[in-house]
Amino acid sequence: MQYALKEAKTKSGGQKWYENQVTSNKVVSFFKDKRDINIHVEPLLAKRHISLELSETIHIGEAVSIVVRDKEGNIKSQSISEFQPCKSAIEKGLISTKYSFDDWQGNEDIINICEKYLKALEIIIKNGNNDGFLT
């Protein structure tokens, strides 16, 4: 955008055209301000959001134990069946990280807002070429 401004200013009405391009687009205006802060004040910091999602399935099943005792309580025979699960185990975890700017008014993360910005720049350059302000 700085190069577009430099070139547009050399043409009649170019400064006004540039200012309209910046102020009429929320994401372009936002990043123009961010660029100025990053260059002239301090490096930009993004806010990091970490989400952790865990889920686990409890294993439920059955096993049978049969014990035969005599009158005195002595074990005459004993059998135990194998444990038979009713459900298979499912364990999963998901960790996601999202970066954003605290002062951005939309819901987009940094990747999405940057994609919007690049699309907006393409349109501005195309408009600048069509309007004769950029080569």
| 32-90 pLDDT per residue, tens | 888 888 888 888 888 888 888 877 766 677 888 888 889 898 988 888 888 777 766 66
| Mean per-residue pLDDT, 6-23 | 95
Residue 114: the pLDDT is 93
pTM of the entire structure? 0.64
Residue 91: the pLDDT is 67
Residue 39: the pLDDT is 87
Cβ atoms 55, 91 nearer than 8 A: yes
Residue 59: the pLDDT is 67
Q: What is the DSSP string of 17-38?
A: HHHHHHHT-HHHHHHHHHHHHH
| 92-123 pLDDT per residue, tens | 778 888 999 888 888 899 999 999 999 999 99
Nearest alpha-carbon partner for 125 in 3, 32, 34, 30: 3
Where is pLDDT greater, at 5 or 47?
A: 5
Q: How many Å apart are CA 31 and CA 36, to the nearest integer? A: 8
